[in-house]
C-alpha cells in the first residue's frame, strides 16, 4: 500500500533553494534511509514534510495516503500520523511531559473520532511505552526535555513516537550524539514499533545506525536531489568510499 | 497619597493583591521581619512600592505578574532599600502583553554602605504577544557596600517559536501550545503564594484567562 508519494518537490529557505526536485514513494512496511553530505537538504526534507513554517514549498506535491499533505497545518499532519524525531529536541521549561503527552495523545484520538483516555488508561500507556525505550520513571515529572542528556532526549523522542503510533516516522539524525548503548536502545525501540502498516524515513550521516535499523532502501541526497538509490549495500559502499562519486 | 506600613520585628506579612488599580505604599521592615508581596494585574494598574529594610536580617519578596491583552497601561515601580545588613530581597517581575498594551517596570535596588552581607536579586522577564504591545524596563542598582551579593536580569521577547513548532509536530494546535507556554511562564509566580486557597484561586483565574477566554467569546484579543 502506498503511504507517501513525493513528486518533484522544490523548497526554499529565504531566497535559497534547498530541495531541487525530490521524487520518492514509500509503501507501508518499508524503511527508507536517506544519506548524504552536509547541506544536501536532508533536514530540509523532514522540515518540509512536517510543515515547518521556516521553509517554503515552491513546486511539487506530497500525498500521505492519497491526501494532499502540503495543504495541511503542522498539527493536522501530526494527527494524520506524521511524526518527526527531531535532530535537536526542544526543551520546554515548565511544561510537564505528562501534561504535554496527554494533550498530544488525546488530540490525535479526537481527530480519529475516539474518546479521550482516562487518567488511569493514560498512565498505563505511558508506563508500557516507557519500558520500550528503557526510560527512567523520573522523566515523567520533569519538563519536556529540560535538562535531559543527549541520550535521554533521543529516547524521549522514540517514547513519544511509541505513544502516538504514527504511520510515517521521520528520524532525523537520531544517532547524532548517542553512545553505542543509547543507540542500541533507541534502535530497538524503533524496530519494535515497526509494523506492516507503518513506514520510516531514517536520515543519517553514518552507516552505523543502519546496522541496527536495517533499511529496505537507501537513497543518496545531494544538492537537493536524490542522485542514487539502492538497497542496504549502498550504505556500506558509501561508508567505504564516501561521497566522492558525487564529484565525478 | 502614599500609605505607610510598618512590619514589626520578627513578624511575617504576606499579601496577595489581585487587580488593585492603584497602590502607593511605603513599607518599613523592622529586624528579622518577612514581607511577601504578590502583585497580580489582569487590567490597567499603577503600583509604586517603596520598601525599606530598617532592621537587620529582613527578608523581602516581591512577585509581580501582569497579564493584559488590550490597550491597558500597567506600571510597576519598586524601590527596595537595604539600609542595614544581613537582609535578603528577591524580586520576580513578569509581564505578558498583548494587543496594544503598555508595560513599565522600574526597579530600584539600593544597598547602603552599612548594609553588608546583603543578598539581593531582581529578575524581570516579559513576553510580547503582539507587535503593537510595548514594554519599558529600567533596572537601577545602587550598591554602596562591598560585601554583598546582588544580581539582576531583564529580558523581553516572544513565545519560543521552536517550542511551538515542536508542540504542533506532536498534534497540539498553536493555541494549545501558546496556552501551555504561557501557563509555564507564570507558574513560579503562582507557586510562590504560600496560602493554598489563594494559590488555587490565582491558578484558576489564570486558567480561565488563558484557556477559556476564547470559548466564552470574550472580547479579548486571541492569544
- Chain A within 8 Å of B5 (Cβ-Cβ)? no
**Tens-binned pLDDT, residue by residue, of chain A (248 aa):** 999 999 999 999 999 999 999 999 999 999 999 999 888 999 999 999 999 999 999 999 999 999 999 999 999 999 999 999 999 999 999 999 999 999 999 999 999 999 999 999 999 999 999 988 888 777 777 899 999 989 899 999 999 999 999 999 999 999 888 888 889 989 999 999 999 999 999 999 888 899 999 999 999 999 999 999 999 999 888 888 888 777 65
Q: B120 is written with which cell numbers?
A: 539581593
Residues 166-185 of B with CB under 8 A from A: 166-174, 176, 180-181, 183-185
Give B197's DSSP letter. Answer: H
Nearest partner of A156 among A148, A168, A164, A165, judged by Cα: A148
Q: Residue A241: what pLDDT?
A: 83
Nearest CA-CA distance, residue B118 and chain A, Å: 30
Indicate the pLDDT class of residue B152, thresholds 50, 70 and 90: very high
Question: What number of C-beta contacts closer than 8 Å exist between A and B?
Answer: 70
Taking CA atoms, A83 is separated from A75, A163, A169, B50, B150, in Å, by 10, 11, 5, 53, 46
Please answer whether residues A52 and A84 qualify as being in contact, where contact means their C-beta atoms are separated by less than 8 angstroms. Answer: no
Which residue in chain B has the smallest CA separation from A160?
B170
Residue B217 pLDDT greater than 50, yes or no? no
Please answer whether residues B7 and B32 qualify as being in contact, where contact means their C-beta atoms are separated by less than 8 angstroms. Answer: no
Residue B212 pLDDT greater than 70, yes or no? no
Which residue in chain A has the smallest CA separation from B175?
A75
pLDDT tens digits for range B110-133: 999 999 999 999 999 999 999 999
Please answer whether residues A170 and A46 qualify as being in contact, where contact means their C-beta atoms are separated by less than 8 angstroms. Answer: yes
Q: Residue B222: what pLDDT?
A: 53
- Chain B within 8 Å of A204 (Cβ-Cβ)? no
Please classify residue B212 by burial: count the beta carbons closer than 10 Å to its beta carbon, then call 0-12 exposed, 13-18 middle and 19+ buried: exposed
Say which of B163, B173, B184 has its CB closest to residue A90.
B163
User: Which chain B residues are within 8 Å of A75, Cβ to Cβ?
Assistant: 168-169, 171-174
Say which of B162, B167, B171 has its CB closest to residue A79.
B171
Q: Look up the pTM and report it.
A: 0.90
Interface predicted TM-score (ipTM) of this complex, two decimals:
0.96
pLDDT tens digits for range B180-201: 999 999 999 999 999 999 999 9
Q: Which of A47, A83, A86, A90 has the most B C-beta neighbours within 10 Å, making it the best mutation to test the interface with B? A: A90
Q: Residue A38: what pLDDT?
A: 87
- B68-87 CB burial, b ≥16 within 10 A, e <16: bbeebebbbbbbbbbbbbbb
Q: B195 is written with which cell numbers?
A: 496560602
Q: Residue B223: what pLDDT?
A: 57
Amino acid at each position: 500500500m502506498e503511504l507517501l508519494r513525493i513528486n518533484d518537490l522544490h523548497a526554499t529557505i529565504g531566497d535559497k533553494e534547498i530541495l531541487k526536485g525530490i521524487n520518492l514513494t514509500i509503501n507501508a512496511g518499508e524503511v527508507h534511509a536517506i544519506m548524504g553530505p552536509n547541506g544536501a537538504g536532508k533536514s530540509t526534507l523532514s522540515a518540509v514534510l512536517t510543515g515547518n513554517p521556516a521553509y517554503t514549498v515552491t513546486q511539487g506535491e506530497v500525498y500521505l495516503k492519497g491526501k494532499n499533505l502540503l495543504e495541511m497545518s503542522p498539527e493536522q499532519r501530526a494527527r494524520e500520523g506524521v511524526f518527526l524525531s527531531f535532530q535537536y529536541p526542544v526543551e520546554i521549561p515548565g511544561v510537564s511531559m505528562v501534561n504535554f503527552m496527554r494533550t498530544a495523545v488525546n488530540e490525535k484520538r479526537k481527530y480519529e473520532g475516539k474518546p479521550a483516555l482516562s487518567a488511569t488508561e493514560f498512565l498505563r500507556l505511558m508506563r508500557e511505552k516507557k519500558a520500550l525505550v528503557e526510560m527512567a520513571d523520573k522523566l515523567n515529572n520533569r519538563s519536556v526535555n529540560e535538562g535531559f542528556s543527549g541520550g535521554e532526549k533521543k529516547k524521549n523522542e522514540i517514547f513519544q513516537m511509541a505513544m502516538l503510533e504514527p504511520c510515517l516516522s521521520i528520524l532525523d539524525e537520531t544517532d547524532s550524539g548517542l553512545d553505542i548503548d543509547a543507540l542500541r536502545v533507541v534502535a530497538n525501540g524503533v524496530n519494535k514499533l515497526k509494523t506492516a502498516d507503518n513506514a520510516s524515513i531514517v536520515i543519517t550521516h553514518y552507516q552505523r545506525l543502519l546496522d541496527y535499523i536495517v533499511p529496505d532502501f537507501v537513497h543518496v541526497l545531494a544538492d537537493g536531489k536524490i542522485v542514487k538509490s539502492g538497497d542496504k549495500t549502498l550504505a556500506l559502499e558509501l561508508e567505504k568510499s564516501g561521497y566522492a562519486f558525487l564529484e565525478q | 497619597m502614599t500609605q505607610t506600613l510598618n512590619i514589626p520585628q520578627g513578624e511575617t506579612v504576606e499579601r496577595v493583591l489581585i487587580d488593585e488599580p492603584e497602590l502607593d505604599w511605603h513599607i518599613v521592615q523592622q529586624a528579622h521581619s518577612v514581607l511577601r508581596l504578590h502583585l497580580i494585574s489582569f487590567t490597567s494598574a499603577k503600583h509604586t512600592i517603596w520598601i525599606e529594610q530598617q532592621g537587620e536580617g529582613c527578608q523581602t519578596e516581591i512577585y509581580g505578574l501582569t497579564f493584559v491583552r488590550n490597550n491597558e497601561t500597567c506600571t510597576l515601580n519598586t524601590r527596595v532599600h537595604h539600609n542595614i545588613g544581613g537582609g535578603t530581597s528577591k524580586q520576580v517581575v513578569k509581564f505578558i502583553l498583548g494587543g496594544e498594551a503598555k508595560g513599565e517596570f522600574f526597579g530600584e535596588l539600593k544597598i547602603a554602605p552599612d548594609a553588608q552581607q546583603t543578598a539581593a536579586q531582581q529578575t524581570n522577564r516579559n513576553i510580547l504577544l503582539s507587535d503593537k504591545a510595548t514594554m519599558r524596563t529600567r533596572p537601577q542598582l545602587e550598591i554602596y557596600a562591598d560585601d554583598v551579593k546582588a544580581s539582576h536580569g531583564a529580558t523581553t521577547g516572544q513565545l519560543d517559536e521552536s517550542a511551538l513548532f515542536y508542540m504542533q509536530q506532536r498534534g497540539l494546535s498553536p493555541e494549545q501550545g501558546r496556552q501551555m507556554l504561557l501557563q509555564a511562564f507564570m507558574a513560579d509566580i503562582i507557586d510562590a503564594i504560600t496560602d493554598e486557597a489563594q494559590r488555587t484561586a490565582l491558578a484558576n483565574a489564570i486558567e480561565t484567562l488563558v484557556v477559556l477566554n476564547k470559548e466564552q467569546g470574550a472580547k479579548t484579543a486571541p492569544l
